[in-house]
């Protein structure tokens, strides 16, 4: 089943609890929380205190996307703040396998995030320890960017590798995931959609209606694919 994960960096920071509760009640599957340090990416977002606010507002899984240098130094902070899933960028740490083991040792789902130019082959030797892969489909750091077209094939290639080796790994896509890009990312094997300004946080209408409309669109796309 395709999972919808609002990207909370796009939410109304002055009404974060309200937005989270509205999205939760509308039926989203998880919450995607981008953590940025102004060093790994040229932007800042929120920290563990905001994660605590979100944790208190929902029981849905919190997916922490660490876009920070040396993520291994901060796993405890986000684990204690209530993370259910933590992804780290392969480009941000020297000892990827070790930090993934640390995340798993805390009973938290472990993910690896790949920048657009980072090849799939780079995670070959950690596929046995991860639960999901976050494929950046824009350059990380800012909402509102354009999908990078070569990422369609990257999704397909990762999906083929997962299928071939029978790994139990989900593909998450992050960046300009909206009505124009969803059909093809689903067709190529994506399962977890990070939904920001391209799909949920648009200027008009309620968040509730945006979720319902997006879910209907996704289900309609699936029907077309299976020919129902």
Contact stretch for ligand DX5 (CB under 6 A) within 77-85, 119-127, 151-159, 171-179: 171-179
Q: Return all residues near 144 (Cβ < 8 A) that are at least 6 apart.
A: 196, 197, 198
Residue of 60, 65, 154, 159 that binds Zn ion (CB under 5 A): 65
DSSP, collapsed to helix, strand or coil, labels residue 14 as helix
Residue of 16, 53, 143, 148 that binds ligand DX5 (CB under 6 A): 143
6 makes contact, choosing from Zn ion, ligand DX5, none, with CB < 5 to 8 Å by partner type, with none
Closest CA to 145 of 26, 9, 32: 9
Strand partners, 170: 132
Residue 165 CB, shortest distance to Zn ion, in Å, is 25
β-pairing, 170-174 with 132-136? parallel
Residue of 176, 181, 207, 214 that binds ligand DX5 (CB under 6 A): 176
The footprint of Zn ion on this chain (CB under 5 A) covers a number of residues equal to 3
Please tell me the distance from the alpha carbon of residue 23 to that of residue 173, in angstroms, as a whole number: 19
Residue of 34, 37, 63, 131 that binds Zn ion (CB under 5 A): 34
Residue 174 annotated among the catalytic residues of the structure: yes
The active-site residue out of 34, 37, 63, 131 is 34
List the structure tokens of 200. 């949920």
The active-site residue out of 19, 37, 131, 174 is 174
Residue of 194, 207, 210, 218 that binds ligand DX5 (CB under 6 A): 194
Q: Which of residues 3-62 bind ligand DX5 (CB under 6 A)?
A: 7, 9-10, 34
The DSSP letter of residue 82 is: T
Q: HEC states along 101-157?
A: HHHHHCCCEEEEEECCCCCHHHHHHHCCCCCEEEEECCCCCCCCCCCCCCHHHHHHH
CB atoms within 10 A of CB 208: 13
Residue 34 annotated among the catalytic residues of the structure: yes
49 neighbors 20 (Cβ within 8 angstroms)? no
135 neighbors 173 (Cβ within 8 angstroms)? yes
Contact stretch for ligand DX5 (CB under 6 A) within 95-103, 135-143, 157-165, 179-187: 135-143
Write out the residues near ligand DX5 by the rule CB under 6 A. Answer: 7, 9-10, 34, 138, 140-145, 174-177, 194, 196-198
Sequence ranges of the binding site: 7, 32, 34, 65, 141-144, 174
Q: Active-site residues: which are they?
A: 34, 174
Sequence ranges of the binding site for substrate: 7, 65, 141-144
Sequence ranges of the binding site for a divalent metal cation: 32, 34, 65, 174
């Amino acid at each position: 089943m395709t999972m919808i994960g609002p990207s909370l960096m796009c939410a109304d920071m002055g009404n974060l609890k309200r937005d989270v509760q509205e999205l939760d009640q509308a039926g989203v599957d998880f919450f995607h929380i981008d953590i940025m340090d102004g060093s790994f990416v040229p932007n800042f977002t929120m920290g563990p205190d905001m994660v605590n606010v979100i944790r208190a507002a929902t029981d849905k899984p919190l997916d922490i996307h660490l876009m920070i240098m040396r993520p291994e130094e901060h796993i405890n902070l986000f684990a204690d703040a209530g993370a259910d899933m933590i992804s780290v960028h392969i480009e941000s740490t020297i000892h990827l396998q070790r930090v993934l083991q640390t995340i798993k040792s805390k009973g938290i789902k472990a993910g690896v995030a790949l920048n657009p130019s980072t090849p799939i082959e780079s995670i070959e030797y950690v596929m046995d320890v991860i639960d999901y892969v976050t494929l950046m489909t824009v350059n990380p750091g800012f909402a509102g960017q354009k999908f990078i077209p070569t990422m369609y094939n990257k999704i397909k290639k990762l999906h083929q590798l997962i299928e071939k080796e029978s790994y139990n790994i989900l593909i998450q896509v992050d960046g300009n995931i909206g009505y124009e890009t969803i059909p093809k990312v689903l067709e190529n094997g994506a399962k977890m959609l990070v939904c920001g300004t391209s799909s949920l946080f648009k200027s008009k209408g309620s968040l509730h209606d945006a979720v319902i409309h997006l879910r209907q669109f996704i289900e309609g796309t699936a029907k077309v694919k299976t020919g129902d």
